[in-house]
A = this chain, B = another copy of it.
Amino acid sequence: MAPADVPDIVIGRLPIYLRALNFLLEEEREITASQELADKLGISSAQIRKDLSHFGEFGKQGTGYEIKYLREQLRKILKVDQEWDVALVGAGDLGHAIAHYGNFDRNGFHIVAVFDRNPRKIGAKMGRFQILDSESIPTVVQDMHIKVAIIAVPADSAQQVADTLVEAGIQAILNYAPITLNVPPKVRVQYIDPVVYLQRMTYYL
């Protein structure tokens, strides 16, 4: 189910395929084809078939893919057929938006703890969460066996927060701070810096 040698770039596309399948399912579609997904996603149909072939044979010649079945397979491959507890560090505007973003829960990612180091915020409520002291990250993360964290603190404290999280056992970090983090190779990091995305477009204008 999880061959060790699947390229990173292939894994990166699977969530996009999954998202498209969810969309088709909502439209109560039952069958799709690599060409249809290709048209929708702006990816070649050959690439979609090749990507999927790393994990098995999910389609039927002459017919295509049963959407429900392929979706379940992708969810298993990506390990999102289970629920994940998530720690959120940073209770500013950004942390607030993240904590209220319904798509996390809807996709099995449950924020279970929100941390901040500002004494004025610690103990206060943010939506349904009581904000915890960042000092308690190690104990809370360890006790709850949390493996996934989101960093939503300013750039100048992000590396320090990352160090604490890694030390506490976090293995995947979604980093909203505009800085490249230094972490051990076993820890995965994904970056969301909207300024970087805008700068990738202005070049072409």
Q: Are B97 and A178 in contact (CB under 8 A)?
A: no
* Cβ contact of A190, chosen from B78, B174, B200, cutoff 8 A: B200
Asked if A41 is an interface residue, CB under 8 A from chain B, the answer is yes
Interface size class of A (residues with CB under 8 A): 35 or more
Q: Are A79 and B19 in contact (CB under 8 A)?
A: no
B-side contacts of A14, CB under 8 Å: 199-200, 203
B-side contacts of A205, CB under 8 Å: 79, 147-148, 171-172, 188
Taken together as a complex, chains A and B put the C-alpha atoms of A59 and B151 apart, in Å, by 35
Interface of chain A residues 35 through 52 with chain B (CB within 8 A): 40-42
Task: In the complex, identify which listed stretch (A65-73, A102-110, A129-137) lies at the interface while the others stay far away.
Answer: A102-110
| Chain A positions near chain B (C-beta within 8 angstroms) | 2, 11-12, 14-16, 18-20, 23, 40-42, 77-80, 84, 86, 93-94, 96-98, 100-101, 103-104, 107, 109, 147-148, 150, 171-172, 174, 178-180, 182, 188, 190, 192-205
Beyond contacts A20-B180, A94-B97, A109-B195: 6 other A-B pairs, Cβ-Cβ < 8 A, are A42-B180, A96-B97, A104-B198, A148-B202, A150-B194, A171-B204
